[in-house]
Amino acid sequence: MPITLKFSSGRERNTLIMTESTSKSESNSGCFYLTTPIYYVNARPHLGHAYSTIVCDAIARRKRALGIETWFLTGTDEHGQKIERSAKAAGCTPEEFATKVSGEFRGLWDRLGLTYDDFIRTTEPRHVRGVQYLFKTLCDKGYIYKGSYTGQYCVGCEEWIEGPPGTICPIHGIVTETVSEENYFFKLSAFERKLLEFYEANPEFMLPESTRREVVSFVRSGLKDVSVSRSTLSWGVPVPGDEKHVVYVWMDALANYITALGYGSDDDQKFKKFWPADIHLIGKEISRFHCVYWPAFLMAAGIPTPRSVRANGWLLFDQGKMSKSRGNIVRAETVHTVLGSDALRYFLLREIPFGQDGNFSFDALVQRYNGDLANGYGNLVSRVVNMVHKYFGGVVPEAEAGTQAEAALRTNAEAAIAAFGPAFDELNFSDALKSLWLLVAETDGYLTANAPWKKPPERSDAEHAKLQARVLGTAAAAIRVITALAYPIVPDAAAKVWAQLGLGELADAAKHGFLSELAWGGLKAGTKFGEPSPLFPRAEKEAIERMQSLEDENSRSAVESANEREIVAPTSAPAATSVVPVAAATDKNARAAGGTTPTTAAPTNPAKPVATAKVHQVPAALAGSRLSSTPVPADGDSPLVPGATQGVHGPAEAENAAVNEGPKHITIDDFAKVELRVAQILVAERVPKADKLLRLEVDLGTEKRQILAGIAEYYEPEKLIGRKIVIVSNLAPRKMRGLESNGMLLAASLEGGAPVLAGFLEDVPVGARLK
């Protein structure tokens, strides 16, 4: 039976419906704990990472300003094969590599003024100890057992596939391998009903609704026990008591949310105080780990579950998810350098409805900046502060009772106060800001209508001074309200305005919960204004050019340093590429592995050979990326090319193989066998129950074809319609998920394998052959 728990702190906080497991905890009432995902250190921070962290920072600032004791955690995820491999490519140890990149994340967060309370690294002893403690607790409680499993495995997906030996992976279209391994398994299957009941009792546990639907349907379709250890990898947390295994990277990573609070250590005061988390803010693609695995691990360990998991959408740039593997990143430093971090924060929170994907472009950024910040808020503040200095020596004048116009502005300000909080606390930042900027416009309109700078001849000097006092005092009062509410989003500008209004240090006010008492008034006559200073100087066209050139320069130097690495490492594969085994696909998918029911059958087969594929070690936008024919694998999967070399390769072995064998040539006749044609996409839709697959109908000029492609995670089907692509048109048809695929489309396979469809700059006729 769910228990309703009301918070007694008197502040706005939603009533929470707690399940029994959460309600047992007396902890955390009166405080607020929020977390970002911890970032992989294989890639440098970009705007996509900054987005989640900035959102959390805005939330944390508002909570603190409301007088709520807040703990804001962020950090880096440093274990796993991907990091091990990146370190190797960079010619250093995983520890050195992780330390360097983790430092870049932290340094950037500091430069952006993000107010995290703790930054955890999964390589820190406090974390390692906590993970081991969690693992042992789960063992002691009987939820972890050792088993071995023999089944069909798709290395591209890093997932077990149902079916007998010889089964073809529906995503990659290759024959799965028969793999046996001994691992530790977590009894996830025991939590299917409990999780469904938990979701039912806690409708706000996971949002947005799309995430909730996806997770519920995943659990409803049946949960299998998951592998929570690996024995083929050493860069991880050793399993306590059986150190040839390391803890499954996702269990390791998820545990950061409690290990950072001291879980499993002698000093667990913070854990007692702040846990359970109020918000785990995550990107939408990692919701399954946070909404299924994580609560199940916690329930099994007897630890309260988090109160909510909120998924942000993706920041898109040039039509695709901004990511290193796509090579379409923009760095937060660039915007910070040219327009300041408030501009970036305001843009991200105002422009993108939280939970949805949103486009980033320099044009849109500058447009918002000029419209809302420079010409809107900034200009309003500057007009009022300057007039108070000019007409009243910088002191808030005594004013007579207001007229209807003042009453109306006050009503508007109170409406903004009433609307802003609930919208913001629902993470509906865009609407919250919209309602606040309405007050900016209303205050502007009020000023213009009363024109305190213009004295009509018929008005006496005394009357005019009274009007000026009334109008400027009222406008300044509205600015105070706007500034207080806007503080979590534009903290630097808000601090300047606060000082200009003579209200002192905003940071101090925030420490004292100034927002909890926000009401009209509060800017008393006699208050001495500070000196005016510019807030948001208008951005001209050059600002865009500057940002673009900073990004170009950055890509260039990244490529140059990658090329230098190639020069000093003559043994590596052709420039900008190296050969690594597909088995070592990215962690996101490696982590998705498991999901299988172990048997106690003894291993029958040593691990079968795995295919190899190329991944690129330099920024993808400029690298000579390899084109792969699809079905294209999921994010981070290296593409599997049917018929690719088979062999058991560890990373080192694979690289040596590349060096020793040299490039394999084919003859022109071999190439002529492959018929490549231009096709136009007519229909694109998702395939039910196949997350990664899109069904396309394409026009080849002479005929229409159906093609299945594993690109659903990267391309919105609607956006593909009309697009011209390249397909292998003479491939033998084959069936996937009961549907026939008649051809393969071509895509550049970038580092980590995220596909980018091949296309043309010039217009080309449908059906044209590529030779």
Interface with ligand MSP (CB under 6 A): 37-40, 48-49, 51-52, 77, 253-254, 282-283, 285-286, 312, 314-315, 321-323, 588
**Residue 92 annotated among the catalytic residues of the structure:** no
Contact 739, 622 (CB under 8 A): no
Q: Which is nearer to ligand MSP, 254 or 493 (CB)?
A: 254
Nearer to ligand MSP, 32 or 51 (CB): 51
Nearest-approach distance from CB 75 to ligand MSP, in angstroms: 9
Tokens of 432: 């919250």
Active site residue 154: yes
Nearer to ligand MSP, 333 or 406 (CB): 333
Alpha-carbon span 266 to 506, nearest angstrom:
37
Tell me the closest approach of the beta carbon of residue 579 to ligand MSP, in angstroms.
Answer: 23
3-state secondary structure of 87: helix
Q: Would you state the torsion angle of the CA atoms of residues 297, 299, 303, 308, taken in this order, to the nearest 10 degrees?
A: 90
Taking the least distance from each CB to ligand MSP, the nearer of 129 and 326 is 326
Catalytic residue, chosen from 56, 139, 154, 291, is 154
Return the percent helix, strand and coil in the chain, to nearest 5: 40, 20, 40
Return the beta strands (E) in 541-609 as ranges.
Answer: 577-581
Least Å from the CB of residue 43 to ligand MSP: 7
C-beta pairs of 384-388 under 8 Å, 24+ apart in sequence: 384/447, 384/472, 384/475, 384/476, 384/479, 385/476, 385/500, 385/501, 385/529, 385/532, 386/532, 387/452, 387/453, 387/468, 387/472, 388/472, 388/476, 388/529
665 classed as catalytic? no
Count CA within 13 A, CB hemisphere, residue 261. Answer: 23
Rounded Cα distance between 479 and 523, Å, is 10
| Residue 452 contacts residue 387 (beta carbons within 8 Å) | yes
Cβ-proximal residues to 176 (8 Å cutoff; 6+ apart), any chain: 152, 153, 154, 161, 163, 166, 167, 168, 169
**Contact predicate 349/429, CB 8 Å:** yes
In the complex, what is the shortest distance from the CB of residue 208 to ligand MSP, in angstroms, rounded to a whole number?
Answer: 14
- To the query of whether residue 127 is one of the catalytic residues in this protein, the response is no
- Strand partners of residue 678: 726
Residue of minimal Cβ distance to ligand MSP: 283
Residue 484 CB neighbours (<10 A): 25
Provide the minimum distance between the beta carbon of 352 and ligand MSP in the complex, in angstroms, as a whole number: 9
List the catalytic residue out of 139, 157, 649, 692: 157
Q: Between residues 281 and 432, which has the closer beta carbon with respect to ligand MSP?
A: 281
Sign of CA dihedral 353, 356, 362, 367: negative
Residue 764 φ/ψ, nearest 5 degrees:
-130, 145
Work out how close the CB of 558 gets to ligand MSP at its nearest, in angstroms, rounded to a whole number: 17
Of residues 51 and 97, the one with the C-beta less far from ligand MSP: 51
What is the nearest approach in angstroms of ligand MSP to the Cβ of residue 133?
17
If the CB atoms of residues 122 and 468 are measured against ligand MSP, the closer one turns out to be 122
Minimum CB distance to ligand MSP, residue 137 (Å) = 18
Sequence-ordered list of residues with C-beta below 8 angstroms from that of 636, at least 6 positions apart, any chain: 82, 325, 585, 586, 587, 588, 589, 752, 753, 754
Of these residues, 79, 245, 324, 336, which one is catalytic? 324
The single-letter code of the amino acid at 121 is R
| Closest CB 324 distance from ligand MSP, rounded Å | 9
H or E element at residue 181: strand 177-186
Burial code (b: 16+ CB inside 10 Å, e: under 16) for 493-523 equals bbbbbbbbbbbeebeebbeeebbeebebeeb
- As a residue count, the chain comes to 771
Sequence-separated (6 or more) residues with CB below 8 Å from residue 748? 620, 625, 626, 627, 628, 755, 756, 757, 758
Element (H, E) at 163: none
Complex with ligand MSP: residue 589 or 742, whichever CB lies closer = 589
Question: Any catalytic annotation for residue 31?
Answer: no
- For the bound state, the minimum distance from the C-beta of residue 51 to ligand MSP, rounded and expressed in Å, comes to 5
**Residue 434 annotated as catalytic:** no
The Cα–Cα gap between 492 and 54 comes to: 14
Nearer to ligand MSP, 307 or 588 (CB): 588
**8 A C-beta contact, residue 757 and residue 627:** no
Q: Strand 610-616 relative to strand 676-687: parallel, antiparallel, unpaired?
A: unpaired
Choice among 127, 187, 321, 588 that is catalytic = 321
304 vs 394 by CB, closer to ligand MSP: 304
Catalytic hit among 56, 139, 169, 291: 169
Separation between Cα atoms, residue 378 and residue 538, nearest integer Å: 9
Min separation Cβ 732 and ligand MSP, Å:
37
> Which of 70/586 has CB closer to ligand MSP?
586
Given the residues 63, 172, 245, 724, select the one marked as catalytic.
Answer: 172
Nearer to ligand MSP, 133 or 498 (CB): 133
Q: How many CB atoms lie within 10 A of CB 540?
A: 11
Shortest CB 589 distance to ligand MSP, Å:
11
Q: What 3-state DSSP class applies to 159?
A: strand
Give least dist CB 4 to ligand MSP, A: 30
H or E element at residue 144: strand 144-154
Q: Which of 46, 270, 280, 616 is catalytic?
A: 46
Name which of 77 and 566 has its Cβ closer to ligand MSP: 77
Please say if 704 is a catalytic residue. Answer: no
CB atoms within 10 A of CB 355: 18
The residues assigned a catalytic role are: 46, 49, 154, 157, 169, 172, 321, 324
